[in-house]
C-alpha cells in the first residue's frame, strides 16, 4: 500500500476524486505549513509543493506532483532522489495568470498606477498620453499554457503578437509571428510590450539584463509573471530610471519576499504584486489541480503515461 501525502487545502469532494483515482492507497492530508519532515519522508507519493528542505533526496519518494507550474526549487541537485518522477500542474494556471498579466499590462498602458498614487495624495492631476493594445506590438517570452493564454487575450484586443520559443516550431494561432530565443535581440526593438512567462533555470537566468533592456524601444513596457530570476533587478531598475522603459509591472522578483529596503519598492513607474497571480486565489484553480493530480495518480498506479513530466535539464515539461 502506497502512502499518498496531499498538501493541498482540499475539500471533501476533492478527497473523493483523489481517493477514487488512488484506490488502495493510504491518504494523508496535511498543509504545507504544518506537515512534518517525518510525514514527507514516509510518503511514496506527494501531491502538492512540499518544502524542498524536508525532501532532501528521500529514497522512498517515487513521484512528486506539484500544484505549481514552476518547478525550479525541486531541480536543485539533492532535493529529489535520482528515481523520483516530477510532474507539474501546467494547464491549471493559464486563465488566472494571463488575466493578472493582462490587468498589469492595461494598468501600465493607461497609467492607472499613477492615478492610484495621486488618489492617495488627494491630487487631481492629468497624467497625459496613454497607449492601447490595439496599436501595440507585444512580445511574449515563454509560450506554455500561460504565455499562450496571455497572447490570445492581447491578440483579441487587437495587438500584433510576437511569440518566442526555445526551438523552431509551427506558429500557433495565438501569435502572429514566431521566433526562437536566438532571434530575441532582433525582435526586442520592435515591441511596445515585452511580457515574460519564463520558468527559472540556468538558461533563463538574467536573460533580461542591461544589454537586453537597452535594446528595447523607448517607452516600452515590461511585464513579468514568470520567474524573477529571469530578470537582472539592477538592470531593470536602471532601465526604469534612465530609460528606455516607460514602466514595468512584475508579479515575481529575483529575491522573494522582496526585501523591505529594496529600491524597487520606491520606483514610481514600477508596479509590484507579491507572486499572487497564480497560487489558489482563483477558486477554480484548485479544482483543476485536483483533476490533473487525480488523472496522473490513476495513470501512475496503472503504469500509464503521466502528464506534465518535468525535464530536470530545462525545467520545462517534456
pLDDT tens-place string over residues 132-154: 999 999 999 999 999 999 999 99
Residue 209 lies in a domain: yes
Looking at the structure, do residues 69 and 160 belong to the same domain, yes or no? no
Residue 199 lies in a domain: yes
pLDDT at 317: 84
Looking at the structure, do residues 64 and 22 belong to the same domain, yes or no? yes
Per the structure, the count of domains in the chain is: 2
Looking at the structure, do residues 102 and 88 belong to the same domain, yes or no? no
pLDDT at 201: 85
Give the pLDDT band (50/70/90) at residue 202.
confident
Domain containing residue 169? 94-272
State yes or no: pLDDT of 192 exceeds 90: yes
Mapping DSSP onto H, E and C, the string for the chain reads CCEEEECCCCCHHHHHHHHHHCCCCEEEECCCCCCCHHHHHHCCEEECCCCHHHHCCCCCCCEEECCCCCCHHHCCCCCCCCCCEEECCCCCCHHHHHHHHHHHHHHHHCCHHHHHHHHHCCCCCCCCCCCCHHHCEEEEECCCHHHHHHHHHHHHCCCEEEEEECCCCCCCCCCCEEEEHHHHHHHHHHCCEEEECCCCCCCCCCCECHHHHHHCCCCCEEEECCCHHHECHHHHHHHHHHCCCCEEEECCCCCCCCCCCCHHHHCCCEEECCCCCCCCCCHHHHHHHHHHHHHHHHHHHCCCCCCCEECCCCCCEC
Residue 310 lies in a domain: no
State yes or no: pLDDT of 127 exceeds 90: yes
Proportion of the chain above pLDDT 70, given as a percent: 100
Looking at the structure, do residues 82 and 189 belong to the same domain, yes or no? no
- Mean pLDDT value of segment 95-106: 98
Looking at the structure, do residues 55 and 78 belong to the same domain, yes or no? yes
Looking at the structure, do residues 70 and 147 belong to the same domain, yes or no? no
pTM (two decimals)? 0.94
Residue 136 lies in a domain: yes
Residue 314 lies in a domain: no
Residue 316 lies in a domain: no
Of residues 314 and 112, the one with the higher pLDDT is 112
Residue 117 lies in a domain: yes
- Mean pLDDT value of segment 236-263: 98
Find the CATH number of the domain harbouring 297. 3.40.50.720
State yes or no: pLDDT of 200 exceeds 90: no
- Mean pLDDT value of segment 252-273: 98
Residue 77 lies in a domain: yes
Looking at the structure, do residues 52 and 138 belong to the same domain, yes or no? no
Residues annotated as catalytic are: 275
pLDDT at 74: 96
State yes or no: pLDDT of 318 exceeds 90: no
Q: For residue range 18-67, what is the model confidence (pLDDT) as tens digits?
A: 999 999 999 999 998 999 999 999 999 999 999 999 999 999 999 999 99
Looking at the structure, do residues 100 and 209 belong to the same domain, yes or no? yes
Looking at the structure, do residues 173 and 290 belong to the same domain, yes or no? no
Amino acid at each position: 500500500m502506497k502512502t499518498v501525502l496531499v498538501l493541498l487545502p482540499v475539500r471533501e469532494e476533492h478527497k473523493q476524486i483523489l481517493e477514487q483515482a488512488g484506490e488502495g492507497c493510504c491518504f494523508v492530508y496535511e498543509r504545507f505549513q504544518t506537515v512534518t519532515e517525518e510525514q514527507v519522508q514516509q510518503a511514496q507519493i506527494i501531491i502538492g509543493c512540499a518544502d524542498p528542505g524536508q525532501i532532501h533526496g528521500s529514497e522512498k519518494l517515487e513521484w512528486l506532483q506539484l500544484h505549481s507550474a514552476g518547478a525550479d526549487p525541486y531541480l536543485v541537485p539533492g532535493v529529489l532522489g535520482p528515481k523520483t518522477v516530477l510532474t507539474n500542474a501546467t494547464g491549471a494556471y493559464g486563465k488566472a495568470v494571463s488575466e493578472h498579466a493582462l490587468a498589469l499590462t492595461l494598468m501600465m498602458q493607461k497609467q492607472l498606477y499613477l492615478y492610484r498614487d495621486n488618489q492617495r495624495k488627494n491630487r487631481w492631476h492629468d497624467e497625459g498620453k496613454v497607449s492601447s493594445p490595439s496599436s501595440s506590438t507585444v512580445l511574449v517570452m515563454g509560450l506554455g499554457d500561460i504565455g499562450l493564454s496571455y497572447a490570445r487575450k492581447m491578440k483579441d484586443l487587437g495587438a500584433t503578437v510576437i511569440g518566442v520559443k526555445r526551438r523552431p516550431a509551427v506558429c500557433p494561432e495565438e501569435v502572429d509571428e514566431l521566433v526562437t530565443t536566438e532571434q530575441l535581440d532582433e525582435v526586442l526593438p520592435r515591441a511596445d510590450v515585452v511580457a515574460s512567462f519564463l520558468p527559472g533555470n540556468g538558461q533563463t537566468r538574467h536573460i533580461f539584463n542591461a544589454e537586453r533592456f537597452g535594446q528595447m524601444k523607448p517607452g516600452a513596457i515590461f511585464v513579468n509573471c514568470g520567474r524573477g530570476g529571469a530578470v537582472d533587478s539592477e538592470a531593470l531598475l536602471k532601465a526604469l530610471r534612465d530609460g528606455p522603459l516607460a514602466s514595468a509591472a512584475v508579479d515575481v522578483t529575483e529575491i522573494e519576499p522582496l526585501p523591505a529596503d529594496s529600491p524597487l519598492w520606491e520606483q514610481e513607474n514600477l508596479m509590484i504584486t507579491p507572486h499572487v497571480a497564480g497560487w489558489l486565489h482563483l477558486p477554480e484553480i484548485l479544482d483543476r489541480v485536483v483533476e490533473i493530480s487525480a488523472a496522473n495518480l490513476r495513470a501512475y498506479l496503472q503504469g500509464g503515461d503521466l502528464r506534465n513530466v518535468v525535464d530536470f535539464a530545462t525545467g520545462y515539461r517534456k
